[in-house]
C-alpha cells in the first residue's frame, strides 16, 4: 500500500468523518455474477448506530461504512483516489456556470428495496435537509441535546423546522436557497446556486427514502401519497408539515439493533441490512432490487464489531473473520507478522489523531477553556512527540512524523510552508514551565479537564495516560471521561472539556475545512467561532485558483493555531489484513477504506463460512 503514501502527498485533506478506527467457485444465482451461499465476515472497531450519516450525530465512519454499501448516489471515490460518476444511479450536469446551475436526474430503473421508485421527492428532501433553507430562523437546538447520549431530547420543540445537517449559508447546498425545479416526469431536480462553489460535485449525498420519512412523520400509509406530501411541504414551505418531517429525518433513522420496521433501513445500493445485533454484528445481503453497475459477487457480508485490535487479529487467525483493518499498534504488527495464510497491507491512512478543546458555547460559561491562556497552557503539555515515539514509531518506522497542520496533510502542496509559519512550533515539544506560567497568569484555580476518548480503544487509553501524566506536571487535573459511546457524545455542550479522536478523510474537497472550523458547521464539535476564519472559508468556497486556495488555507491554519483550537498529533499508520479465503480487497486512503469496492470482493472456496 505504498501507493497510498504517495496519494497522501498529492492531496489536501478531504471532507471528514469521525473515525473510531485506523481504519470463488459455486453456482451463480443469476446473470449478475452473485454466488449463491457465498459469505464473508469483516471486523470494525465501532458499532453502527445511525442510518443517517448526514446529521451531526450520525456522521461517523462506523455508520458511513454501512450506508456506503446500502445507499446509492451520483458518485463515489475509487482508491486512486479519483471521483467516479455513478451513471447507473443517475446523472448530473452543469446547466449554467453563471449562475451555477446543476441538474440531477435519477435513472428510471432505480428503486428502493421495497420496490418504490427513487425520484424527485427523495432528491428534494435531500436538498431541504442539506441546505436548511426552510429551517426556522435562529433556532438553537443545543439546550435540547442529551449530554449522556448526544441525541435530541423528548423536550425538543415540535413546532420548529430544524434539519440537523450542519449546513451553513455559504457552502455546499447552503448556497442553494431557491427551491429546486422538478422535471423529467418527477425524476430530476435542477438547483441554482446563489454564488459559485468550487466543490459542487460533492455537495449532494445519497438520499434517504422520502416516502418513509413522510409515512412516519405525517401518518400517511400510501407510498406515493407520502412522496407527494414531501413535495407539497417543501414547495409550499409548510412549517406545520416540515417540523415533524425534519424531526424524523434527524432521529428516525438512529438505531443500535435491527428495527421492527424494515422500512427504516431500505436500500438503493448493492447491499441491504438483513440482521443487526446490538454491539455484536451487522449483516448485509445482496439487494435484489439493485440494478446498478456495482453488482456484488458475495451474497452476504457480516461486519463484526471488535473494539480491541488484538482481539480482531485473534478472530482473523481463528478464521472467525476474513478481513480486518484495526488501529495499528506495535503488538498488532508483531501478531500479524506471525500469521500464515494472511495478506497484510500497510501504509499511511487519510486519518489523523488530534486533541480538540471545547470553547465557550454560551451555555457553559465556567468552561475552563473559555480562557485562551488556559487553552495555550494545556496544549503545551500534550506530549505529541512521546505519543509518536512510543505508540506510532514502532509501527511506522521512519514514516512516523508529527502532523503539524490543522488543514494540510504532510507531504501535500502547502504543508511545509504552512507549518513553518502557522505557530505549531510552539507545541512541538512539551513546555511544562511555560504551561505553569500561563496557568498562573490566567487566575484559573479549578484546573480539572474532562477528556473524552474511546475507552475501549487500547491506543487511545495509552494516549490518555500519557496526556494525563504530562498535564499533571503543570497543575492540570485531567479526569478520565473515556466512553464506549464517545462518538455520540462529541459536540454535546458541557459533556467534556477536551476530546481525543481521529478525523478520517472522505473526499478530496478543497472546502473540507469549512464543516469543521466554520461557525455552526456539522463537524464543528468545539463551538469554535472566529469571524476571520469564517470569512476565509467563505472565500475558499468560491476560489478556483489552486495557488490562491493554498494561500487561503495557510491563513486559516495560522489562525487556528493562534486561537489554540487544539493540536494535531500524527497521521494514522494503516494496516489491513485478510485471509486467503477472500480476494479483491484493495484499500483506499479515503473512507470507507476497505469497503469502497466490497462489490468486487469474492471468496476463493466457493461457499459460505463454516
pLDDT one-digit tens code per residue, 307-340:
999 999 999 999 999 999 998 888 888 899 889 9
Query: Could you state, in order of their start, the residue ranges of all structural domains in the chain?
Result: 2-50+261-348+573-602, 72-207+209-251, 355-385+423-571
User: Which strand ranges, in their side-by-side order, compose the sheet holding 188-192?
Assistant: 90-97, 100-106, 188-192, 181-183
249 or 514: whose pLDDT is higher? Answer: 249
For the segment 337-376, what is each residue's pLDDT rounded down to a tens digit?
889 999 999 877 888 999 999 997 665 566 899 999 999 9
Q: What is the pLDDT of residue 475?
A: 97
For 411: left if phi > 0, alpha if psi spans -120 to 50, otherwise beta; the answer is: left
Confidence band of 411 (pLDDT split at 50, 70, 90): confident
C-beta of residue 587 within 8 angstroms of C-beta of residue 79:
yes
Cell numbers for 504, please give them: 478520517
pLDDT-derived band at 170 (thresholds 50, 70, 90) equals: confident
Phi first, then psi, for residue 11 (nearest 5°) are -130, 150
- Reduce the DSSP state of residue 46 to 3 states and report it: coil
Question: Which CATH number is correct for 2-50+261-348+573-602, 3.40.190.10, 3.30.300.130, 1.10.10.60, 3.40.50.620?
Answer: 3.40.190.10
How many angstroms separate the CA atoms of 525 and 512, rounded? 15
For residues 111-124, average pLDDT: 98
Q: Which residues, 6+ apart, have CB-to-CB distance to 260 below 8 Å? A: none
> Helix, strand, coil: what percent of the chain each, to 5?
35, 20, 45
pLDDT at 22: 38
Q: Supply the pLDDT for residue 31.
A: 56
CB atoms within 10 A of CB 125: 26
Buried b / exposed e along 426-446 (16+ C-beta atoms within 10 A): ebeebbbeebbebbeebebee
Tell me how far apart the alpha carbons of residues 434 and 368 are, in angstroms, rounded to a whole number: 18
The 10s digit of each residue's pLDDT in 526-546 is: 999 999 999 999 999 999 999
Are 601 and 340 spatial neighbours (Cβ–Cβ below 8 Å)?
no
- Residue 576 C-alpha cell reads as 489491513
pTM: 0.85
Q: What is the CATH number of domain 72-207+209-251?
A: 3.90.76.10
> Domain 355-385+423-571: what homologous superfamily?
Dipeptide-binding Protein; Domain 3 (3.10.105.10)
Amino acid at each position: 500500500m505504498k501507493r497510498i503514501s504517495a496519494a497522501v502527498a498529492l492531496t489536501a485533506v478531504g471532507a471528514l468523518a469521525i473515525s473510531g478506527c485506523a481504519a470463488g467457485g459455486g453456482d451463480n444465482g443469476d446473470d449478475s455474477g452473485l454466488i449463491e451461499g457465498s459469505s464473508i465476515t469483516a471486523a470494525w472497531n465501532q458499532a453502527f448506530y445511525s442510518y443517517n450519516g448526514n446529521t451531526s450525530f450520525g456522521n461517523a465512519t462506523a455508520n458511513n461504512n454501512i450506508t456506503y454499501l446500502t445507499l446509492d448516489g451520483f458518485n463515489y471515490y475509487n482508491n486512486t483516489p479519483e471521483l467516479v460518476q455513478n451513471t447507473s444511479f443517475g446523472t448530473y450536469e452543469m446547466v449554467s456556470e453563471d449562475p451555477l446551475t446543476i441538474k440531477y436526474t435519477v435513472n428510471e430503473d432505480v428503486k428502493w428495496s421495497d420496490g418504490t421508485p427513487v425520484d424527485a421527492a427523495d432528491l428534494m428532501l435531500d436538498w431541504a435537509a442539506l441546505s436548511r433553507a426552510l429551517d426556522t430562523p435562529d433556532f438553537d437546538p443545543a439546550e435540547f441535546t442529551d449530554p449522556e447520549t448526544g441525541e435530541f431530547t423528548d423536550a425538543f420543540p415540535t413546532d420548529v423546522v430544524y434539519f440537523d445537517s450542519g449546513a451553513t449559508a455559504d457552502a455546499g447546498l447552503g448556497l442553494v436557497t431557491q427551491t429546486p425545479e422538478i422535471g423529467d416526469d418527477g425524476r430530476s431536480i435542477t438547483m441554482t446556486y446563489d454564488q459559485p462553489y468550487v466543490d459542487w460535485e460533492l455537495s449532494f449525498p445519497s438520499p434517504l427514502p422520502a416516502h418513509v420519512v413522510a409515512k412516519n412523520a405525517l401518518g400517511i400509509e400510501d407510498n406515493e401519497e407520502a412522496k407527494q406530501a414531501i413535495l407539497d411541504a417543501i414547495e409550499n414551505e409548510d412549517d406545520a408539515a416540515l417540523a415533524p418531517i425534519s424531526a424524523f429525518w434527524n432521529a428516525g433513522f438512529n438505531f443500535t439493533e435491527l428495527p421492527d420496521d424494515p422500512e427504516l433501513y431500505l436500500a438503493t445500493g448493492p447491499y441491504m441490512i438483513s440482521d443487526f445485533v446490538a454491539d455484536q454484528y451487522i449483516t448485509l445481503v445482496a439487494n435484489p432490487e439493485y440494478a446498478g453497475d456495482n453488482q456484488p459477487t458475495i451474497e452476504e457480508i457480516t461486519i463484526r464489531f471488535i473494539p480491541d485490535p488484538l482481539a480482531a487479529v485473534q478472530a482473523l487467525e481463528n478464521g472467525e473473520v476474513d478481513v480486518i483493518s484495526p488501529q495499528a499498534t506495535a503488538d498488532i504488527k508483531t501478531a500479524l507478522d506471525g500469521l500464515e495464510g494472511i495478506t497484510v497491507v500497510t501504509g499511511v491512512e487519510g486519518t489523523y489523531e488530534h486533541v480538540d478543546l471545547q470553547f465557550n458555547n454560551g451555555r457553559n460559561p465556567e468552561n475552563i477553556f473559555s480562557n485562551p491562556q488556559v487553552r495555550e497552557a494545556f496544549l503545551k503539555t500534550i506530549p505529541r512527540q512521546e505519543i509518536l515515539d512510543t505508540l506510532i514509531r514502532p509501527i511506522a518506522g521512519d514514516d512516523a512524523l508529527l502532523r503539524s497542520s490543522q488543514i494540510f496533510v504532510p507531504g501535500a502542496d502547502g504543508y511545509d510552508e504552512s507549518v513553518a509559519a502557522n505557530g505549531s512550533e510552539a507545541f512541538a515539544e512539551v513546555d511544562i514551565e511555560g504551561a505553569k506560567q500561563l496557568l498562573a497568569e490566567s487566575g484559573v484555580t479549578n484546573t480539572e479537564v474532562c477528556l473524552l476518548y474511546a475507552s475501549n480503544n487500547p491506543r487511545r487509553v495509552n494516549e490518555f495516560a500519557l496526556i494525563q501524566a504530562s498535564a499533571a506536571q503543570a497543575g492540570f487535573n485531567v479526569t478520565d471521561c473515556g466512553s464506549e459511546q464517545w462518538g455520540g457524545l462529541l459536540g454535546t455542550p458541557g459533556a467534556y472539556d477536551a476530546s481525543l479522536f481521529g478525523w478520517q478523510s472522505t473526499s478530496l474537497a478543497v472546502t473540507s475545512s469549512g464543516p469543521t472550523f466554520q461557525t455552526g458547521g456539522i463537524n464543528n464539535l468545539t463551538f469554535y467561532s472566529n469571524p476571520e476564519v469564517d470569512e476565509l472559508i467563505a472565500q475558499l468556497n468560491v476560489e478556483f485558483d489552486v495557488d490562491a486556495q493554498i494561500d487561503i488555507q495557510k491563513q486559516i491554519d495560522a489562525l487556528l493555531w493562534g486561537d489554540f483550537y487544539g493540536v494535531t498529533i500524527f497521521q494514522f499508520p494503516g494496516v489491513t489484513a485478510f485471509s486467503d479465503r477472500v480476494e479483491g480487497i484493495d484499500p483506499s486512503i479515503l473512507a470507507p477504506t476497505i469497503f469502497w469496492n466490497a462489490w468486487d470482493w469474492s471468496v476463493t472456496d466457493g461457499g459460505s463460512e463454516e
